[in-house]
A and B are shown apart, each in its own frame.
Chain A
């Protein structure tokens, strides 16, 4: 149990409720998103947030998560090589909006479970509204998933050179052919 979880437990035991920003900043030490290197387009804070959001969306399972698949790096590159200025601004704003959702300390200062819960709320709202913020979030999400599924290891059944086409196989036969062609 970390310091913040201990504090939350203590408050709950006392019958209290936790409100946004109710705890001092020091309570979040050790659980916040770590700031690393800047990207080619995004600054260090944006890269850290993008990495966190992508990994919450696409965690590591028996296939790599978004971070291990370098989804943030791919999107950072696409901002320079693919996006027009309006898209660049839109993606920046989408990240800023996520960070701003957890005022006053920001999304990145929250512990993992809270960040996942916050992002879930943002996600649900984004598919209900049609405003610019909702659109920006949906585009960001779409590109995260696109970058992921064009990444190595994302598709467990991807084979570069199948060698043949078969159209009526059991699952076991199909998986054997996949394994044999890799």
Chain B
């Protein structure tokens, strides 16, 4: 049979594409390379108490050698048994990189993809983010502006459910928000002190895709208010955070137009040189290794920035020898991730009679501190912001790393220390043609698909930004009234460390220098759309998922219009 549309991938953008296309009446097939997962099913570990999590949440010591070293490198905060079922190991799913330029590619191969484990921070881009390339000449100009996307931000925020505060900041425009989470007293103190000392900087409550006041539409999908457990990455049986499994796929399912196939690895797209159209999606069954082809009038690639570009590169033909829709040679290039590694921490004095309750799945946010342009002494372009939070730490098991034991040490371990705060940098990376994904010339995975080869590195601009980010993080905390401030910087985090890969099939005005047009439609293949991080022309400082959602919904509705007009 021929489907109206095929969506490759079921993560944040695949889920959105499926929902929009199905709701517009298209018979839609979603192809997911990973296994099937039921929302609230046995893969969800959110109901397990700390003493019930397998191996007390410790990852067995021989697992790094079994493909989990990258997760260990990512850090203790994420290297836990509680959610490893939602991540891919590099033994089963290898990729390659030059020995001296490692890349960290964090994947989630299951229905719902990385929408199960995303950090849920949801920020609109500001107008200045869409004009950044135009202003300084790095990368090509975005073929759209904030005003083009604003109504689609409204659309996706309303459905996904974003909690946040109205701030009136151009760099992170306000949206359709549910009530914000509460700042704790220490964060409020730092935010207010900072506001007086540095009116050019803002510390606001993070905007997160966790429901604080669910709408009737969300409740009808079985979603309920966030319970402040901070177990999101284990899956949320309350459906309180937005994921494909809690929100978009059920909505798509409700139309009766959705079909999902799991364990189907997309090998490449079939292209008809006579019509210039994509005609089908070639897949390999992950288990049986059997191959098949699914045909459709419309194809949406939503397989992640690297995944989608990888599929296009592997869809080589006589008509498209460098990969499908790659006349520009931009495909696979300009790979970006957010720049991290810089941080500062300090003590917030006082308030020792104040306490927190609940585990807030959210942080505070300091939007782009270069939103108004360069500052004196800057030896880099673009900007950076920070995310972090304050809390009263308890030693807990950390007492076991110190000398001493006994009843007094035990009691002290559960007593609350002073308020401390930490902020971490999120900086903008420049699009560079040599930060690049290619197909490995000889090595293939177990399904015979050439490995993704990722050759990316931080360059002078990013390194200068990290150094400045460290100093500025400390300045911000001091200006916010913090004491005992310390700061640090790492220049050796691999690209991919922030899991915000973007740019490998960028949008642009000119088919000679970009892969996609202003509607995420391939310049060279009218019925092919790419709406995940691959489409990003620059990478801003904001967490990108909300923008992917808005771009996807916009593209899907446009594609349906084109289909109805008969122009694709």
- Interface size range on A against B: 35 or more
Q: When the two chains form their complex, are residues A138 and B396 in contact, meaning their CB atoms are under 8 A apart?
A: no
Contacts of B360 in A (CB 8 A): 165, 167
What's the Cα separation between A83 and B60 when bound, in Å?
6
What's the Cα separation between A25 and B229 when bound, in Å?
54
Q: Is A162 an interface residue (CB 8 A)?
A: yes
Q: Is B414 an interface residue (CB 8 A)?
A: yes
Known: A82-B58, A87-B61, A165-B358. A157 touches B414 (CB 8 A): yes
Q: When the two chains form their complex, are residues B356 and A174 in contact, meaning their CB atoms are under 8 A apart?
A: yes
Contacts of B396 in A (CB 8 A): 149, 155
Q: When the two chains form their complex, are residues A162 and B410 in contact, meaning their CB atoms are under 8 A apart?
A: no
Contacts of B357 in A (CB 8 A): 159, 162, 164-166, 169, 173-174, 177-178
Stretch at the interface among A52-60, A92-100, A101-109: A52-60
Contacts of B58 in A (CB 8 A): 78, 82, 146
Shortest Cβ distance from B405 into A: residue: A57
Q: When the two chains form their complex, are residues B356 and A156 in contact, meaning their CB atoms are under 8 A apart?
A: no
Q: Is B475 an interface residue (CB 8 A)?
A: no
Q: When the two chains form their complex, are residues B227 and A163 in contact, meaning their CB atoms are under 8 A apart?
A: yes
What's the Cα separation between A127 and B409 when bound, in Å?
16
Q: Is B479 an interface residue (CB 8 A)?
A: no
Q: Out of A150, A161, A169, name the residue touching B56 (CB < 8 Å).
A: A150
Within 8 A of A (CB), among B217-251: 227-229
Q: DSSP class of B's interface residues: helix, strand, loop or mixed?
A: loop
Q: Is B187 an interface residue (CB 8 A)?
A: yes
What's the Cα separation between A154 and B400 when bound, in Å?
14
The 8 A CB mask of B358-371 against A (1 = contact, 0 = none) is: 11100000000000
Q: Out of B60, B188, B400, B403, name the residue touching A168 (CB < 8 Å).
A: B188
Q: When the two chains form their complex, are residues B358 and A162 in contact, meaning their CB atoms are under 8 A apart?
A: yes
Shortest Cβ distance from B52 into A: residue: A152
Q: Out of A84, A150, A157, A170, name the residue touching B51 (CB < 8 Å).
A: A150
Q: Is B407 an interface residue (CB 8 A)?
A: yes
What's the Cα separation between A61 and B414 when bound, in Å?
13
Contacts of B37 in A (CB 8 A): none
Q: Out of A159, A163, A170, A178, name the residue touching B354 (CB < 8 Å).
A: A170
Q: What's the least CB distance linking A162 to chain B, in Å? A: 4
Q: Out of B228, B400, B402, name the residue touching A162 (CB < 8 Å).
A: B228
Q: When the two chains form their complex, are residues A165 and B182 in contact, meaning their CB atoms are under 8 A apart?
A: yes
What's the Cα separation between A170 and B411 when bound, in Å?
20
Q: Out of A57, A59, A84, A152, name the residue touching B49 (CB < 8 Å).
A: A152
Known: A58-B405, A168-B188. A146 touches B56 (CB 8 A): yes
Known: A141-B400, A149-B396, A164-B228. A171 touches B405 (CB 8 A): no
What's the Cα separation between A127 and B401 when bound, in Å?
9
Contacts of B53 in A (CB 8 A): 150
Known: A74-B56, A146-B397, A160-B229. A61 touches B410 (CB 8 A): yes
What's the Cα separation between A157 and B185 when bound, in Å?
19
Shortest Cβ distance from B390 into A: residue: A167
Within 8 A of B (CB), among A41-98: 56-59, 61, 63, 74, 78, 81-84, 87
Q: When the two chains form their complex, are residues B355 and A174 in contact, meaning their CB atoms are under 8 A apart?
A: yes
Q: When the two chains form their complex, are residues A165 and B397 in contact, meaning their CB atoms are under 8 A apart?
A: no
Q: When the two chains form their complex, are residues B50 and A163 in contact, meaning their CB atoms are under 8 A apart?
A: no
Q: Is A5 an interface residue (CB 8 A)?
A: no
Contacts of B228 in A (CB 8 A): 162-165
Contacts of A178 in B (CB 8 A): 357
Contacts of A63 in B (CB 8 A): 410, 414
Q: When the two chains form their complex, are residues B410 and A167 in contact, meaning their CB atoms are under 8 A apart?
A: no
Q: Is A1 an interface residue (CB 8 A)?
A: no
Q: What's the least CB distance linking A71 to chain B, in Å? A: 10
Q: Is A19 an interface residue (CB 8 A)?
A: no
Q: When the two chains form their complex, are residues B405 and A165 in contact, meaning their CB atoms are under 8 A apart?
A: no
Q: What's the least CB distance linking A127 to chain B, in Å? A: 4
Q: What's the least CB distance linking B284 to chain A, in Å? A: 34
Q: When the two chains form their complex, are residues A167 and B413 in contact, meaning their CB atoms are under 8 A apart?
A: no
Contacts of A149 in B (CB 8 A): 396-397, 413
Shortest Cβ distance from A170 into B: residue: B353
Q: When the two chains form their complex, are residues A145 and B397 in contact, meaning their CB atoms are under 8 A apart?
A: yes
Contacts of A166 in B (CB 8 A): 182, 356-358
Q: What's the least CB distance linking A58 to chain B, in Å? A: 5
Within 8 A of A (CB), among B39-67: 49-51, 53, 55-62
Q: Out of B55, B182, B400, B405, name the residue touching A167 (CB < 8 Å).
A: B182
What's the Cα separation between A111 and B4 when bound, in Å?
80
What's the Cα separation between A171 and B357 when bound, in Å?
10
Q: Is B399 an interface residue (CB 8 A)?
A: yes
What 17 additional pairs, Cβ within 8 angstroms, besides A78-B58, A156-B414, A174-B356?
Answer: A61-B407, A82-B55, A82-B60, A83-B60, A83-B61, A124-B403, A149-B397, A149-B413, A159-B357, A162-B228, A162-B357, A163-B227, A164-B227, A165-B181, A166-B182, A171-B355, A177-B357
| 17 pairs, CB–CB < 8 Å, chain A vs chain B | A56-B405, A58-B410, A59-B406, A61-B411, A81-B60, A142-B397, A145-B399, A151-B50, A161-B227, A162-B229, A162-B358, A163-B228, A165-B358, A166-B182, A168-B188, A169-B355, A174-B356
